[in-house]
Copies of this chain bind each other. A is one copy, B any other.
């Protein structure tokens, strides 16, 4: 196998976690090997899409046979740089923040929320799942703790200043749950999830006329 020099579509990267998740669950269900066709049915993606996506990174399957699930999972983990545990900090210990800290799915990809911050004096000092809530003024410790990823679950009006503080603390990746666009230096990656926005599309699709 030799590597060609093709730009990798963002959409491909978006699907890789989905594939990894599918492979992990197939393994748990006792499968060892799978074809792109079967796998496509399992994860809801067209089979040639799946083969094309993999092809950007190498040849992971065996013609006439399919893919070794375990081996493929390792390959995708490697592509996504998920081979080692990634520490993350969460800012905003409200309802959503608490839910995310306890969210079981993060473990599957090797994430560990090791620091939690809030600006509410009633919350500072208390614990969520054994993690002490710290004053958001102390975000600077992230640099020392070598935490590169920040998760923002603060109210909208505090999102930009929180992002600024995270960037100042050396964070290079921000997962933003606040419903707003935040501006960061171009060496910082922001992914925004607007939960309500997903729901807001529903009536368009389900209402006749």
Contacts and interface: CB of A to CB of B under 8 A. Distances in A.
Copy tally for this chain in the complex stands at: 2
A157 to B, nearest CB: 9
Q: How large is the interface on A (under 10, 10 to 19, 20 to 34, 35 or more residues)?
A: 35 or more
A43 interface: yes
Interface string A190-208: 0101111111111111110
A158 interface: no
Contact of A200 (B80, B102, B194, B203): B80
Interface in A10-35: 13-14, 16-18, 20-22, 25
A51 interface: no
Contacts of A99: 94-96, 98-99
A17 B98 contact: no
A105 B176 CA distance: 14
A119 B14 CA distance: 33
Interface in A89-134: 94-96, 98-100, 102-103, 105-106, 108-109, 111
Contact of A203 (B20, B44, B80): B80
A173 B202 contact: yes
A86 B96 CA distance: 22
Contacts of A82: 200, 203
A88 interface: yes
20 contacts: A14-B197, A17-B198, A22-B181, A80-B204, A81-B203, A96-B99, A105-B179, A105-B195, A108-B196, A111-B196, A111-B200, A148-B206, A149-B202, A151-B199, A172-B206, A173-B206, A175-B199, A175-B202, A193-B193, A193-B198
